[in-house]
A and B are shown apart, each in its own frame.
Chain A
Amino acid sequence: MSHFLSPIFAPGFFESEAVHIALAVGALVAIVTGVVGVFTVIRGQSFAGEAFSDLGTTGGAGAYFVGVGTLWGFVIGNMIAAGAMEAIGVQRVRGRDLATGIVLGAGIGLAALFLYLYTTEHSTTGATVTILFGSAFAISSTTLPLIAGLSGLVLTLMLTIYRPLLLGSINAELASARGIPVRLVGALYLLALALAAALAAITIGTILSTALIVGPAASALRLTRRPLTALLAAAGIGIAAMWVGIVLAYDSYHWPPAGQGWPVSFFVVMLVFLTYLLSGLPEARRRRHADRAAPASGRLQPATGRRRVLRFHGQRLDGREHRRGRRGGRGVLHGPTRLGVRRPRDPQRLLRRRRRRQPDRRQHASRPRRVRGRRCSHDRSARPPRSARRRHCARARGDARARFAVPQPQPGVRVRGLLAAVRRGAWH
């Protein structure tokens, strides 16, 4: 197995214990951040995640300075941050300004002091990089139970407050009218977010933890309309980004500069970003499709851009346009107005136009066209010279009968498969 997969998984990938721990922690963290992140995006609280990345730095730096585990530092730092935000009122926009200016600034200042003291004492800058950018391969197996416990705690909390939180995130008034203690649910959610940010910080660092919380969730929101599916999708995207990031980081040991692996957090954040960009595609596709399907019949549309003037249906061309060839091309409208009238979209007309341009290549029609004996279906302008016309038209008639027997996909036939469903935009 390692032979044919070795271009993907560098040797030793499956044997390394550090990789095992990284994969396990990565998956756990991705699930937690995905579930929490969906609500962060719905509630528009990615700012709170940002605050956790700042105060988590303080906590992590303090942990190094004091000499306890970094995760404890992150957890305690984020808990303090959550309490401060709840006290200041991060829910209010004005409160955010204050929090940014005063609390977060003070936190980063404290982090700077701790890191300065630690790095000058130990004459190494490893702590700074570990806190800010994480080190998924350097997680010791002793922290694994703690990480698993915290993940379980956050997930249990989130699933418990799922319904009240969902309604409260949509409309606080609606929730409080039902007797839901909106403030308490919000505070519990902030606690979950604080722990999720701490877990994200231990894998990809405090600075990038927001990306792991918000990124997969934002992508998931573009892909699905259902709340529970969004949670699952966000967790799935997170796990995929994490695992692929770990594989790439492991492989990057053999990339230039030789002998130095690239950081996991770089790959994870880039993959999350890429997923976000790609997740917009089905939506854009669907929207383009909807625009095209919108009825344009008889609607007046201003001629904008490159003087692309649509002709009225059946309008005569003037000599200059004849010289330029092709009907239906770009041209100047010699009429009282520069507004064009878009003709109703007619599949038969599109087909005729295509045929006109390529007289010998018959296109598929959406509906068999009955060709009676006397007339050739070719457009007059594209008719072959008189000498060849008889044979040509006869062949065209024959072709028409044969070609139009090709079965067309029926509307209403479901295209099976995940990819097909995404392409149809069915998840919207």
Chain B
Amino acid sequence: MSVSGEQTDAMGRETISVAGLDGEEVLGVEGISVRLSGREILREVGFRIRAGEFTGLIGSNGAGKTTLFRVILGLQPPAAGRVLVAGHPRSARNPLIGYVPQKFMLDPDAPLRARDLVALGIDAQRPGVPRPSGSRRALVEEMLEAVDAARFADTRVGRLSGGEQQRILIAHALIARPRLLLLDEPLANLDLGSAHEVVALLARIAAEQQIAVLISAHEINPLLPVMDRIVYLASGRAVSGTTDEVIRADVLSKLYGHHVDVLHVHGRVLIVAGAGEDTDLTGHEGTFPRAEVLT
């Protein structure tokens, strides 16, 4: 797997794309471009994910991570390109994709136990009231065990902590047996301990159940130990590959369009922008950060 080469899009701009791996492909994103109210959010983004892989979608705030997720989920029609789920163009109701949203605000008094939210994952889209059944209950119980959430299964969802809610949402997504699990910034509001636990849990699920996990984050370091592949998103473009292939000064400099340094400190990675001599800070629309450090 390596950077396959440079392509030029219709407007003559240079894009970077990385060839996919061979094998059982769960998600194929091919040349996705998205425009929102005239602004170009994503430009020719492409990558592939295989079953059982743990992939990090890394990018700073506003890089287009959530937009890319919305495209994959079919909530945002792309201006160009297509999304293949398990080799087929995705349909609007695709049970193969499980989704865990970014923010979760719920009234603490809402009458919904963690257990009920997980059960809603089975068939929330169906009309009618679910009939209680033993197999349903057993399935929910199994999922709660799988995410280590049995302890607070009977607590109201609104009263759980951020990390506990993440676990419940993961169980909610997993109970429909998806092939691909999308998580939008699951570590954003978690303390370090909870973040570590959630990451470990997801890595275990990916390995055990052969589910492809795509997790977006603006920090690379919590995910470094478990990531099989990385999709790095910056200024609307993406580069993907293994961590060693992507997190390199030359690759990221090309992606950002200006010089970027990659520093390795005690097994962690710092990406520092705007430190090079050939960088023209003033001529770059003045929007990118002076020094973007991803700790």
Q: Mark A170-207, 1 if CB is under 8 A from B, else 0.
A: 11011111111000000000000000000000000000
Is residue A383 contacting chain B, with contact meaning CB distance below 8 A? Answer: no
**B111 A178 Cβ-Cβ under 8 A:** no
**B101 A163 Cβ-Cβ under 8 A:** no
**B106 A163 Cβ-Cβ under 8 A:** no
B270 to chain A: closest CB distance in Å?
A: 32
Q: B73 contacts which chain A residues (CB < 8 A)?
A: 176-177
**A170 B157 Cβ-Cβ under 8 A:** yes
Complex: A199 Cα to B125 Cα, angstroms: 29
Q: Contact check: which of A164, A170, A177, A180 meets B110 at CB < 8 Å?
A: A170
**A contact residues vs B (CB 8 Å cutoff):** 38, 41-42, 44, 159-164, 166-167, 170-171, 173-180, 220-222, 224-230, 428
B179 to chain A: closest CB distance in Å?
A: 15
Q: Contact check: which of A41, A42, A163, A167 meets B128 at CB < 8 Å?
A: A163
Is residue B116 contacting chain A, with contact meaning CB distance below 8 A? Answer: yes
Q: Contact check: which of B93, B99, B109, B126 meets A163 at CB < 8 Å?
A: B126
A275 to chain B: closest CB distance in Å?
A: 15
**A180 B116 Cβ-Cβ under 8 A:** no
Q: B111 contacts which chain A residues (CB < 8 A)?
A: 38, 42, 220-221, 224-227, 229-230
B131 to chain A: closest CB distance in Å?
A: 11
Q: B129 contacts which chain A residues (CB < 8 A)?
A: 159, 162-163, 228
Q: A171 contacts which chain B residues (CB < 8 A)?
A: 101, 104, 106
**A222 B124 Cβ-Cβ under 8 A:** no
B143 to chain A: closest CB distance in Å?
A: 16
Complex: A159 Cα to B75 Cα, angstroms: 27
**A177 B99 Cβ-Cβ under 8 A:** yes
A selection of 14 A-B contacts at a CB cut-off of 8 Å is: A41-B107, A42-B107, A42-B110, A163-B126, A163-B127, A166-B112, A166-B124, A170-B112, A171-B104, A176-B73, A177-B101, A225-B112, A227-B112, A228-B129
Known: A179-B92, A225-B154. A164 touches B125 (CB 8 A): yes
Q: Mark B78-101, 1 if CB is under 8 A from A, else 0.
A: 000000000000001110010101
Complex: A167 Cα to B107 Cα, angstroms: 14
Q: B93 contacts which chain A residues (CB < 8 A)?
A: 178-179
Known: A44-B107, A163-B130, A171-B104. A180 touches B112 (CB 8 A): no
Q: Which residue of A lies closest to B94 (CB)?
A: A179
Complex: A176 Cα to B74 Cα, angstroms: 9
**A164 B104 Cβ-Cβ under 8 A:** no
Is residue B156 contacting chain A, with contact meaning CB distance below 8 A? Answer: yes
Q: Contact check: which of B106, B156, B169 meets A225 at CB < 8 Å?
A: B156
**B109 A180 Cβ-Cβ under 8 A:** no
Q: A179 contacts which chain B residues (CB < 8 A)?
A: 92-94, 125
Q: A174 contacts which chain B residues (CB < 8 A)?
A: 99, 101, 169, 172
Q: Mark B113-149, 1 if CB is under 8 A from A, else 0.
A: 1001100100111111110000000000000000000
B101, B123, B154 interface centre (most CB from chain A within 10 Å): B101
Known: A170-B106, A171-B104. A177 touches B75 (CB 8 A): yes
Q: Which residue of B lies closest to A162 (CB)?
A: B129
Complex: A229 Cα to B169 Cα, angstroms: 22
B35 to chain A: closest CB distance in Å?
A: 21
**B contact residues vs A (CB 8 Å cutoff):** 73, 75, 92-94, 97, 99, 101-102, 104, 106-107, 109-113, 116-117, 120, 123-130, 154-157, 169, 172
Task: Supply 14 further A-B pairs (C-beta < 8 A) apart from A174-B169, A178-B99, A227-B112.
Answer: A159-B128, A161-B127, A162-B128, A163-B123, A163-B130, A167-B124, A171-B106, A174-B99, A175-B124, A177-B75, A177-B97, A177-B101, A225-B154, A428-B156
Complex: A285 Cα to B111 Cα, angstroms: 19
Complex: A174 Cα to B117 Cα, angstroms: 11
Q: B125 contacts which chain A residues (CB < 8 A)?
A: 163-164, 178-180
B96 to chain A: closest CB distance in Å?
A: 12
**A226 B124 Cβ-Cβ under 8 A:** no
Q: Which residue of B lies closest to A229 (CB)?
A: B111
Known: A178-B93, A179-B92, A180-B125. A221 touches B109 (CB 8 A): yes
Known: A171-B106, A228-B129. A178 touches B124 (CB 8 A): yes
B215 to chain A: closest CB distance in Å?
A: 15
Complex: A220 Cα to B130 Cα, angstroms: 20
Q: Which residue of A lies closest to B112 (CB)?
A: A227
Q: Contact check: which of B75, B102, B116, B126 meets A227 at CB < 8 Å?
A: B116
Q: A161 contacts which chain B residues (CB < 8 A)?
A: 127
Complex: A222 Cα to B108 Cα, angstroms: 10
Q: B102 contacts which chain A residues (CB < 8 A)?
A: 173
Q: A230 contacts which chain B residues (CB < 8 A)?
A: 111
Complex: A159 Cα to B99 Cα, angstroms: 26
Q: Closest 9 interchain pairs by CB?
A: A179-B93, A230-B111, A177-B99, A167-B124, A173-B101, A160-B127, A221-B109, A162-B129, A177-B73
Complex: A38 Cα to B198 Cα, angstroms: 33
Q: A163 contacts which chain B residues (CB < 8 A)?
A: 120, 123-130
**B116 A226 Cβ-Cβ under 8 A:** yes
A38, A44, A163, A229 interface centre (most CB from chain B within 10 Å): A163
Q: B169 contacts which chain A residues (CB < 8 A)?
A: 174
Q: B92 contacts which chain A residues (CB < 8 A)?
A: 179
B29 to chain A: closest CB distance in Å?
A: 17
A44 to chain B: closest CB distance in Å?
A: 7
Q: A221 contacts which chain B residues (CB < 8 A)?
A: 109-111
Complex: A228 Cα to B120 Cα, angstroms: 13
**B117 A170 Cβ-Cβ under 8 A:** yes
Known: A222-B109, A225-B113, A226-B113. A167 touches B120 (CB 8 A): yes
Q: A42 contacts which chain B residues (CB < 8 A)?
A: 107, 110-111
Complex: A228 Cα to B129 Cα, angstroms: 9
Complex: A113 Cα to B125 Cα, angstroms: 46
Complex: A160 Cα to B116 Cα, angstroms: 18
Complex: A224 Cα to B155 Cα, angstroms: 11
